[in-house]
Chain A
Amino acid sequence: MNTAIVNKIIRFSSVDGPGNRTVVFLQGCNFNCRYCHNPETIGACKNCGTCVSYCKTGALTMVEGKVLYNPERCVNCDSCFHHCPHGSSPKTRSMTPEEVFAEVKKNIPFIRGITVSGGECTLWRDFLVELLRLARQTNLSTMLDSNGTYDFIEDPELLDVVDGVMLDVKAFDGVEHTKITGKQNDLVLKNLRELAKRDKLFEVRTVAVPELFDVAQTVKQTSKILQELGKAGQVRYKLIRFRPIGVREQYQNYQAPDDTFMEQLQTVARGHGITDIVII
């Protein structure tokens, strides 16, 4: 059956693409970014039961070898996924595109579209195609949040139902990228170019962690590519300040960059013709 593991659905979001959107977070990621602020979306639940012992309200129980979640009793203290040895969450559930879309539909007419995020949403390719198709049929616009490790250009069927991708460029330099994420970035940069050329790139995002990599260089090179393609005036660049909230303990000690640093990044992007810049 065509399903995906859904981490959560946010009914109204102002930060995941144009206008007001419902955001679906799918479970599982092929990156392991040090500064990941929702590490509970990275792994799959192994039903090990560790979380059950940390649940103070009895929202989690172990039934026939499986962790059972009762949202009625949950107080969202988050200790379940903070203690998960597998970077997962017991609150995830397996859903079909139709089931997810039934949830999305409840938010019409307040939303203009849907954004699928993660984890890395493209790991659920078949589910994605079907969900976005359903959204399109209801005149909702479709956005994807992606780390760029999926070869979009080779999948016209998926690309056809996507209005725009919000692409993470974690670092431009390959060595730095590997240091942050554990993976190479060749495909990410290919997607940056190819999606922009096809007007399927809505936004690029870089999380600024000055101690971890040369942020200005990444912003510069990324902006330059957009400029060379003549797309600098239409793609948004979102510059995200590192914040320790939600980040795993061992990586929490990075400094959050100050306003001056973020403004310098903005100046760099502007210098390459980027006009729509958002700092958060």
Chain B
Amino acid sequence: MRDISMERVNATREDMLNTIKDRTLTHEQKVATLAKQADSLLEVLDLPEGLDERLNLDPADKIICDLNEGHAPMRPRYIIPDYEKFMKNGSKFLQLDPPTDIWEAVNSLLIFYKNVPSVTNYPVYIGNLDQLFEPFIKDEEEAKKAIRLFLTHVDRTILDSFCHANIGPKATKAGKIILEVEAELQNAVPNLTIKYDQDLTSDEFALLAIDTALKTAKPSFANHKMFKEELTDNYVIASCYNGLKLGGGSYTLVRVLLGNLAKKATSIEHFKKEVLPETLEIMAAYMDERIRFMVEESGFFESNFLAKEGFISKENFTAMFGMVGMAECVNTLLEKEGIEGRYGHSEVADDLGVSIMDIMDEFNRNHVSPYCYGADGHFLLHAQVGIDLDVNSSPGCRIPIGEEPEELIDHLAHCAKFHKYFPSGIGDIFPIDTTVHKNMEYLLDIIKGSFENKVRYISVYEKDSDVIRVTGYLVKKSEMEKLKNGENVLQDTTALGLGSARNSHILERKVR
């Protein structure tokens, strides 16, 4: 381990003391923050040359960002346990036999969740819940009560809305109950996705999902055909909207801030030929090193019960190669060249965006990361949703809020150009005015058409709903109000939402 200066030690000690004295953080939030601050003192990774001047910068200039994963990665960022296996076999470590009824199923899963690590210390995936519960649905009233308690427990104990559940693609009794209960509870946690395929999902089930989404901003719709083709049937949607393999996950997620990077280029050519490729190399090397430490040195895969009992396996892991700020990148480059056109509004701008994606895609196909067995030795591209500290940087490939095309169809056509590049996640969000659109089939037709055109992931919410989708996660507007007034709030994502409302105008999206 490398030495660090006393100055840095003392600065960190000061930060830790401030954390302890903070009046708005809950106890759990303090503990998590203190752990991160302690970890920041470690220097164990063999960092690639050129990383420091891209990583350790103010948000307005930062080019590579590791999203607070810490200096000594001790567990994969996103872990996707095979809950089916747990329901079938139980767990030795947790001393649980396979459940035999709905109450045991609920109890077992809730215990399991408290033992699934992640970057947030809360599970980012809690199962294809309808399939997990379906065998135990005997008396529907009783099942509904059990599921209502289960979902309430999840919302009050998994204190972070990156926690994601899945349902679908086929309609089930359990799936219907989950949708009905979510519509009633209107909680921010868990995030929820319906795997949708118009050949497998009934219209009735899909319409119920849309109805629920307009009440509580979930579920989102994932293009099942697309994910299945890329990741096989064994994929899940976790955290914000990340497509990952069941029984595996993602070791790490590092992102490049394309908007800031574009400022370093003198021309489009310079950006494509030098500036971008150099940074991609450094970012990939950094990710490889993080993974190496985790796999070879941390001992996670040798000691954690999830790996030992086969709920996860390195065979199903990859890592997510993230990007943000495509819009700002394209607009900056066009400006430098004196070319007219704005991202999302002109062909020349969108074509430039696509050509940048082609470069990233090709880089990724050529880069081999030895432990990414789950994706044939490659990373998967990820359109990251941004963080609350980002400055002038739109999520992934999204069109900036305030500049959305007038016509929804043009917006969706833009999505279709970019969604195909991102098996590990990209998505767009549309607030809906239901006083205008009382017609759920209208939205279903739009989802069907979008998915036919290779849009990957769509979220909708009613413009006046309390639960809203910030970028990829959910918050309650009422909780943001509390936090704004200096009160403690249960979920740590509320603070992120408030930051995004201030910096990224997420409350001002174009209403459809």
Contact = CB atoms under 8 A, between A and B. Distances in A.
Interface of A: 11-15, 18-20, 106-112, 278, 280
Contacts of A12: 407-409, 442, 446
Name the residue in A11, A108, A110 with the highest tally of chain B Cβ atoms < 10 Å from its Cβ: A110
Contact of A14 (B407, B439, B450, B453): B439
Name the residue in B443, B448, B449 with the highest tally of chain A Cβ atoms < 10 Å from its Cβ: B449
A278 B438 contact: yes
A229 B102 CA distance: 49
B412 interface: yes
B309 interface: no
A110 B438 contact: no
A106 B412 CA distance: 13
A112 B445 contact: yes
Contacts of B445: 19-20, 110-112
Contacts, number: 51
B446 A20 contact: yes
Contacts of B438: 14-15, 278, 280
Interface string B363-404: 000000000000000000000000000000000000000000
Interface of B: 407-409, 412, 436-439, 441-446, 448-450, 452-453
A19 B449 contact: no
Contact of B449 (A15, A109, A278): A109
Nearest to A113: B445
Name the residue in B409, B445, B449, B452 with the highest tally of chain A Cβ atoms < 10 Å from its Cβ: B445
Contacts of A19: 439, 441-442, 444-445
Task: Give 7 nearest A-B pairs by CB, closest first.
Answer: A110-B449, A14-B442, A20-B445, A14-B437, A109-B449, A14-B439, A19-B441
Nearest to A112: B445
Contact of A109 (B407, B436, B442, B448): B448
B409 A11 contact: yes
B446 A110 contact: yes
A119 B320 CA distance: 55
Nearest to B441: A19
B448 A15 contact: no
B353 to A, nearest CB: 22
Contact of B452 (A14, A106, A109): A109
B411 to A, nearest CB: 11
Contacts of A109: 448-449, 452-453
A13 B439 CA distance: 10
Contact of A20 (B407, B436, B441, B453): B441
A20 B210 CA distance: 14
Contacts of A111: 445, 449
B345 to A, nearest CB: 14
Nearest to A20: B445
A124 B439 CA distance: 29
A15 B439 contact: yes
B409 to A, nearest CB: 6
B446 A11 contact: no
A6 to B, nearest CB: 18
20 contacts: A11-B407, A11-B409, A12-B408, A12-B409, A13-B442, A14-B437, A14-B439, A19-B439, A19-B441, A19-B444, A20-B441, A20-B442, A20-B443, A109-B449, A110-B412, A110-B445, A110-B446, A110-B449, A110-B450, A112-B441
A261 to B, nearest CB: 18
B156 to A, nearest CB: 36
A14 B438 CA distance: 8
Contacts of B437: 14-15
A13 B438 CA distance: 11
Nearest to A280: B438
Contacts of B408: 12
Contacts of A15: 436-439
Contacts of B407: 11-12
B260 to A, nearest CB: 35
A111 B409 CA distance: 10
Nearest to A18: B441
Name the residue in A15, A18, A20, A112 with the highest tally of chain B Cβ atoms < 10 Å from its Cβ: A20
A53 B174 CA distance: 64
A12 B442 CA distance: 9
Contacts of B443: 14, 20
Name the residue in B412, B443, B446 with the highest tally of chain A Cβ atoms < 10 Å from its Cβ: B446
Nearest to B450: A110
Given A15-B438, A106-B409, A109-B452, 8 more contacts: A12-B408, A15-B437, A19-B444, A20-B443, A20-B449, A110-B412, A110-B446, A278-B438
Contacts of B439: 14-15, 18-19
A3 B407 CA distance: 27
